[in-house]
Amino acid sequence: MKMIFKEVRVLDPESGRNEVLDVVVEGERIKEIGRNLRREEGKVIEGQGKWLVPGLIDVHVHLREPGFEYKETFVTGSRSGAMGGFTTMAYMPNTNPVIDHPEIIRALVEKGKTEGIINLHPVGSMTLSQQGETLGDYGAMKKAGVVALSEDGKSVLDSYVMKQALLQAKKEDLPVLVHCEDPSLVAGGAMNEGEKSRALGIKGIPNSAEDVITARDLILSHETGARVHLCHMSTKGSVEILREAKAKNPLVSGEVSPHHLTLTEAVIDGIDTNTKMNPPLRREEDRRELIRGLQEGVIDIIATDHAPHSLEDKKQSYEKAPFGIVGLETALSIGLTELVHTGILSPLDFFEKLTINPATLLGISRGKLQAGEIADLTLIDPEISCEIHPENFQSKSQNTPFRGRTVKGKAILTMVSGNIVMENNRLKEENK
Ligand code: DOR
Ligand code: ZN
Ligand code: ZN
């Protein structure tokens, strides 16, 4: 089966290519990229005015299997990803049971292949049952299919256990995705600590709750030689600490979510729990520093932390509702609208954070739009305007703070290994 994208703007951050070309896909690979290529037999996709980028990669999603299938599943989560232009994602182990044993990992990898419509990779728990005490068998977990390790949802609090975990992770050459949070400083808080939390009478979470563990984990990376990646950075301090750490340690990296880049605590009214996530939305000066970190390349990756919760879960009081928002179906559009169309990031710099940088972190051979590579591709209409309607999400959950927003730019076709899985807002189930 052949396909040709005609006169499309090819954006390949890895090579720096940014020009209007034809792209031929044959079977599961990109066969040829060039000018005026022949329209061969097969499908022709008119690319005028469109951007073709390597399939987007999200290093941080929650698919909720096993145990919380009422929030999301591989089927609904991967469809949600395909709608948003993602072709690959890594899912976190804070499930029930926790993803901590080779048998569970093997079963999930199989399930992901049969039920997922995009590439799904498990992240293994650092400690058994996420109890922060006993390390899993990282070698066996890697053989079974994990691409990284994480205790996401919390930190491994015992610094000795953390250090042993990093030493073992280094041995297996697995990156460690750290959620940095000191619960003794969070102390039951539900939003950023400051004037706003005091005005609303909601307990606050200080920046220090993130910053102290961030500093510890980067120090331990330097000491052990393990690859440490900061999840969902939210504070000015964490950017400054990462900037300083990077100056002497190339093994550290960081990610930021679309919501922390575009929203602040100002949107919180104390009632709508779709603004509640962990870490919380911070102040404008934090947001500005996150943007600066992204522009400088201190922050390497944009990741959604797609965290679906049911309507019932989120219907509770601001204090009681669970932390987390969905992100797969809004990330690209929000990013294009707020970061690219505003000139904060060039298209190549923006897509680098969603393609080659995530692929490099996870050690997967993806993220390049080049002849011979696997044809995981995302076609984007950068000019199309649309409104965000959570009712139309493919995700099982609708917990987004972006409801009703008008955005400019979206994915109009998602291709995985040469198969179109989404085209013009419709999933192509027959390709499964
Ligand atoms: O907001 C969040 N939701 N932060 C986390 O760390 C966990 C996640 C979840 O699993 O819902
Ligand atoms: Zn987290
Ligand atoms: Zn998470």
Query: Could you tell me the CATH number of the domain that includes residue 395?
Result: 2.30.40.10
Which DSSP helix (H) or strand (E) runs through 412? strand 406-416
Question: Residue 68 C-alpha to ligand 1 middle, in angstroms?
Answer: 13
Asked whether residue 92 is assigned to any structural domain, the reply reads yes
Question: Residue 153 C-alpha to ligand 3 middle, in angstroms?
Answer: 6
Each residue of 362-394: pLDDT tens digit?
Answer: 999 999 999 999 999 999 999 999 999 999 999
> Which ligand 1 atom is nearest residue 231's CA?
6
Sign of CA pseudo-dihedral 214, 216, 219, 221:
negative
CA distance 110 to 217: 33
Same domain, 404 and 425: yes
Q: Mean pLDDT over residues 106-125, rounded?
A: 98
Asked if residue 94 has its Cβ within 6 Å of ligand 1, the reply is yes
Which of 301, 327, 362 is the last residue in one of the domains? Answer: 362
Asked whether residue 163 is assigned to any structural domain, the reply reads yes
Least distant ligand from the CA of 94:
1
Max CA-CA distance within the chain?
66
Give the per-residue pLDDT at 287: 99
Q: Is 150 exposed, middle or buried (0-12, 13-18, 19+ CB in 10 A)?
A: buried
Each residue of 270-288: pLDDT tens digit?
Answer: 999 999 999 999 999 999 9
Each residue of 312-328: pLDDT tens digit?
Answer: 999 999 999 999 999 99
Looking at this protein, which amino acid is placed at residue 413?
L
Q: Mutate which of 98, 123, 152 to test ligand 1's pocket (most atoms within 8 Å of Cβ)?
A: 152
140 Cβ contact list (under 8 Å, min separation 6): 102
Q: Mean pLDDT over residues 72-80, rounded?
A: 98
Asked if residue 401 has its Cβ within 6 Å of ligand 1, the reply is no
Ion ligand 3: residues, CB < 5 A:
152, 305
Asked whether residue 312 is assigned to any structural domain, the reply reads yes
Give the per-residue pLDDT at 431: 45
Asked whether residue 367 is assigned to any structural domain, the reply reads no
Cα–Cα nearest to 50, from 382, 384, 386: 382
Asked if residue 62 has its Cβ within 6 Å of ligand 1, the reply is yes
CA distance 10 to 267: 37
Asked if residue 60 has its Cβ within 6 Å of ligand 1, the reply is no
Same domain, 88 and 207: yes
Tokens at 82, concatenated: 């395909």
Which of 327, 362, 397 is the last residue in one of the domains? Answer: 362
> What CATH number does residue 346 fall under?
3.20.20.140
Alpha helix positions (H), 249-402:
258-262, 284-296, 311-314, 331-335, 347-352, 356-362
Asked whether residue 122 is assigned to any structural domain, the reply reads yes
Q: Mutate which of 305, 325, 326, 328 to test ligand 1's pocket (most atoms within 8 Å of Cβ)?
A: 305
Q: What is the dihedral of CA 230, 234, 237, 243, to 10 degrees?
A: 40
Same domain, 399 and 331: no
Give the per-residue pLDDT at 34: 97
Same domain, 105 and 43: no
415 Cβ contact list (under 8 Å, min separation 6): 25, 55, 87, 375, 376, 377, 378, 379, 421
Same domain, 411 and 270: no
**Residues of the domain holding 394:** 2-52+373-431
CA distance 122 to 120: 7
Each residue of 15-58: pLDDT tens digit?
Answer: 999 999 999 999 999 999 999 997 767 899 999 999 999 999 99
**What's the DSSP call for residue 363?**
T
Tokens at 207, concatenated: 């920046």
Closest C-alpha residue for ligand 1 atom 2: 324
Same domain, 145 and 77: yes
Same domain, 109 and 144: yes
Say which range, 40-54, 182-196, 223-237, has the weakest mean pLDDT: 40-54
Q: What is the dihedral of CA 15, 238, 121, 367, to 10 degrees?
A: -10
Same domain, 208 and 62: yes
> Which ligand 1 atom is nearest residue 322's CA?
11
Q: Above 90 in pLDDT, residue 335?
A: yes
> Which ligand 1 atom is nearest residue 154's CA?
6
Closest C-alpha residue for ligand 1 atom 7: 153
Catalytic residue among 22, 152, 286, 305: 305
Asked if residue 93 has its Cβ within 6 Å of ligand 1, the reply is no
Cα–Cα nearest to 268, from 311, 306, 325: 325
Give the per-residue pLDDT at 144: 98
Sign of CA pseudo-dihedral 349, 355, 361, 365:
negative
Catalytic residue flag (residue 12): no
Question: Residue 176 C-alpha to ligand 3 middle, in angstroms?
Answer: 13
Question: Residue 190 C-alpha to ligand 2 middle, in angstroms?
Answer: 14
Closest C-alpha residue for ligand 1 atom 6: 153
Asked whether residue 368 is assigned to any structural domain, the reply reads no
Same domain, 20 and 95: no
Say which range, 30-44, 128-142, 248-262, has the weakest mean pLDDT: 30-44
Same domain, 111 and 255: yes
Give the per-residue pLDDT at 430: 53
Q: Above 90 in pLDDT, residue 429?
A: no
Same domain, 198 and 325: yes
Question: Residues 64-89, buried b or exposed e (16+ Cβ, 10 A)?
Answer: bbbebeebbbbbbbbbbbbbbbbbbb
Question: Residue 123 C-alpha to ligand 3 middle, in angstroms?
Answer: 11
Asked whether residue 423 is assigned to any structural domain, the reply reads yes
Mean pLDDT of the chain: 97
Number of domains forming the structure of the chain: 2
Question: Residue 140 C-alpha to ligand 2 middle, in angstroms?
Answer: 24
Q: Above 70 in pLDDT, residue 145?
A: yes
Closest C-alpha residue for ligand 1 atom 4: 278
Q: Above 60 in pLDDT, residue 432?
A: no
Sign of CA pseudo-dihedral 190, 195, 196, 200:
positive
Give the per-residue pLDDT at 40: 67
Asked whether residue 220 is assigned to any structural domain, the reply reads yes
Question: Residue 60 C-alpha to ligand 2 middle, in angstroms?
Answer: 9
368 Cβ contact list (under 8 Å, min separation 6): 12, 14, 15, 54, 355, 356, 359
Give the per-residue pLDDT at 1: 77
Same domain, 121 and 214: yes
Which of 362, 384, 404 is the last residue in one of the domains? Answer: 362
